Structure formats: C-alpha cells, structure tokens
Amino acid sequence: MKLIKKLFRFIDKHFIIPITKFFVFIGEKLKITDKPLEKAISKKSSLIVLSLIFAVIVFFIVDRHNTTLLETNAEVIYNRPISATYNDEEYVIEGLPKTVDITLIGTKANLYLAKQLPAQDVTVDLSDLKPGVHKVNLKYKQSISSVEYKLDPSQVTVVVSPKQSETREIKSDIVNINKLDSKLSINSVKLDQEEVIIKGSSSDLEKVSTIKALVNVNNMANPAAGTNTLKDVDLVAYDENGTKMDIEMVPAKVNATIEIESPKKDVPLEVETTGNVVFGKAIKTINSSVQKVTIYGDSKTLENTNSIKVQVDVSDLKNNKDYTVSIKKPSGIREISEKTVNIKIELDNEATTEISGVRLSYINLGSNYTVQALSENQTEISVILKGVESVISNIDSTSIEAYIDLDGLKEGEHKVKIKVKGEDPRVKYEPKVTETKIKIATK
C-alpha cells in the first residue's frame, strides 16, 4: 500500500501537476470563452484525467524506446586485418588470411559504445610453431565485455616453412611510355643494382619467373633529352603467366638512370592520289604547301623511313580543287612537325601513250625456289600511260616498275597478274598485258 502511495505521489508531482499547469497556462493564453469547454477544463477532475492520459502516453513512448535500446542486435565489421606474431626472419607463413569479418552481438547501446572505442586487432600467435601444418585460433579482444563477438573464420590452417633465399637478375620495364613527350625517346635504362635477393618458401621461389624494375615515366620530374635519374623504382616479381607475386625482395626498390634522346629526321612529303577523275580529264599539277617534314621516333624507325605519304581522293573530280589533308603518323613515328597540308590539284585534258621495254621482275619468292617465265616475251612488257600530254611525254621506262607478286605460291605452274607503278602521282599506269604464266621449281 505504501508503495502505491509513493508511486501516486511521484506521478502526481512529476506528471499530473506539471501537465495541469501546462493546460491552465494554455487556457489563459488562448482566453477560452466557450463556457461548457471552460467549465470542463476548469474542473480539477477533468485536468487530472487529461494529465493521466498524457502521462500514460509519455510512459509508453519512453518504455518503447527503452525496450528498443535493450533488444539484442548484431553488427558486422568487415575486413578487419590480422596481426600475426612469428619469426619472419626464419619462417614463412602460408594459408593465413589477410583479413577476417567480426560479428558483434549486444544491445544497441552497447554496440554503439563499442563502435566509438578504438578498434582492437585480431591476433594470432605463431611464435612457438615449428615447420609443418597447424590449426590455429584467431583472437579478438573486445573493449566492451558486455558485447559478444564471433570471428569468420575463427580458426585457420597455416603452413609454417623455413624461409629460403635466392639471387635473381633484375630487368627494367618502361611504364606509361605514352606519357613521355612525343619528341623524346628512351635510349637506355641502367639500374644501380643488377641483382636482387628474393626470400620465401621454396615453392614460392620456384614460381618466380621474372623480377622487373618498373620505370614509371609519370614519376619522372620534367624528363628531357640527356641523363635523367629516377629514385625508389618499385621491384615486382612475376610468375610465368605474368601474374604479380607477393614475395619478399631485398632491396625492394632500386634507382634508375635513364638516357633520353630526341632523334629526328627530315624527309620529303609525298602526295598520292586515289580514285579516278572524270572521263577525259587528268591531273596536270599537284602543288603542296609542305614539301618536307621533320619526324621523331627511335633511331631504327627513322633509319627505315625515307618519306611520309599523304593521300588525296580525286574520285569523279572534274574541276580544279584545293584540299586540306591531315598528315598521319606511320607506325613507330611518335611526332611529325606538321599536322596538316594544303594540296591544290589542277586538271587538263587526258592523253595516252605507250612505253615499251619495261623490265618485268618478281617479288616475295620463297628462298628455296626459282622462277621461270612460260609466256613469250615476258622479261619485258609495255605499259600504257594516261595523263596530261605535258606530263606523260617526259616519262621513260626507267621510272616505271613492273612486277609479279609470288607470295604464298609453291612449286608448279601458275598464272599471275602483272602490276605496274610509277613515280608520278598524276599519271595512271596500266600494263598492256595483264597476266603471265610462270613456273616455280625447287632449287
């Protein structure tokens, strides 16, 4: 009975009286004039009932929140790293995962508090293990004792092996070469160390196929022609499939000296035409705004490049015309001094002439074969030229090439097409005889 009286006094003091005062205050402020409503509210019993209802509502709201906070919940911390204790100078540990997932179980309040505190490490002590296969338990020290935890995985199988070492050669590899200035070329790379010591289990050492120093152009500060130095170049181990391997290397980084050059060459710009102008017309002149360009690339590519060609499509051309043509970089050429060229083509009436005595040759014959002509008079042919009279009148047989392509042909008799080409892009060259018979024999 005393307990009930105390409870009533507590509710009366902390809920009913404050709520009653609240309603009286509201009534005065609003100056309620409705007589029935004013009488109802002014009665003490009515205020007590309203206050009690309001107190019950507040009680249920608070109780509901308390119940929610006291409910058991679970949260997962993903990819928590594992800290292993062992003699890493003497042994190699295989089979130990890098991370685990931790499930925390407790009330919401405790889980919230646990997440605010510094996270503890997942640990495993392997210091007493000898070479062989072992099952070990992972441990996690939770800061809040009222929170339970589960590790996934909680137990792992590890293999302890004696650490071996080998000396391997280092090869350099240029990374992001496309980021280098197109006018520059890397001539050589010299490392301050030619060999590296790799350490690990014997099975891992056997898998290592190559050790490469990754010379990253992006890490070079203002690369320029001459001697450039790059420090702390990463070493990476690869297996025979080119997959990176996680293996210890001493040293792990090297320094590189990179010799950069800017080889260039001046070559003529040659204009070629494709397609045919309208019937009865021919190209009289081809005038180019650029006669010579400077090309940049490696020395070998420059040595094998004697000109840069651009093509102009003159299909169905019937009047003089100006073209703007992009100059494309051939394979191996990194930069060209000019990007576009203006080409003016003038037309005139077409004329035809015939040039005899053009020597017939062959290309792409296998090294084990010889070739003989079966058709009569096939050591030399006649070629028909079509172009403006003033152009074709100055052409002789020495500037025309006639040939047959024997690529892929084997021993026996074959009928092959004759091809001709000349030096002047304004002229059309056609063989008078389009095919010939030849015999291929083994040497």
Of 349, 384, 416, at which residue does a domain stop? 349
Residues 268, 308 within the same domain:
yes
- Say whether both 436 and 355 belong to one domain: yes
Are residues 221 and 152 part of one domain?
no
110 and 181 share a domain? no
Per-residue CA distances from 291 to 270, 271, 273, 285, 310 (Å): 8, 9, 16, 14, 11
Q: What does the block give as tokens for 350?
A: 């077409």
More confident residue, 77 or 214: 214
In this structure, are 60 and 111 located in the same domain? no
Last residue of a domain, one of 328, 349, 370: 349
- Residues belonging to the chain: 443
Domain boundary among 261, 292, 321: 261
Q: Do residues 44 and 90 share a domain?
A: no
CATH of the domain at 413: 2.170.120.30
Percent above pLDDT 70 for the chain: 82
DSSP symbols for 160-172: EEE-EEEEEEEEE
**Mean pLDDT across the stretch 135-164?**
87
325 falls in which pLDDT band (50, 70, 90)?
very high
Which residue from 237, 251, 171, 236 is spatially nearest to 206, judged by alpha carbons?
237
101, 78 in Cβ contact below 8 A? yes
Query: Are 338 and 366 members of one domain?
Result: no
Q: For residue range 266-299, what is the model confidence (pLDDT) as tens digits?
A: 999 999 999 999 999 999 999 999 999 999 988 8
Q: Each residue of 223-245: pLDDT tens digit?
A: 988 999 999 999 999 999 999 99
> Do 372 and 327 share a structural domain?
no
| Whether 364 and 308 share a structural domain | no
Same domain, 437 and 364: yes
Helix or strand run (H / E) with residue 205: helix 202-207
Q: Residue 306: phi, psi to the nearest 5?
A: -110, -5
User: Most distant CA pair in the chain: distance in Å?
Assistant: 138
pTM listed for this prediction: 0.54
Structural domains counted in the chain? 5
Which of 28-37, 235-244, 308-317, 380-389 has the lowest average pLDDT? Answer: 28-37
**Phi, psi (deg, nearest 5) at residue 127:** -65, -25
Instruction: Please check whether residues 45 and 80 belong to one and the same domain.
Output: no
Domain region containing 221? 165-261
Cα 433 from chain centre: 54
With a CB cutoff of 8 Å and minimum separation 6, the contacts of 251 are 193, 196, 235
DSSP for 39-81 reads HHHHSHHHHHHHHHHHHHHHHHHHHHHHHHHHSEEEEEEEEEE
End-to-end CA distance of the chain: 128
Q: What is the CATH number of the domain that holds 248?
A: 2.170.120.40
Which has the closest alpha carbon to 274: 235, 237, 314? 314
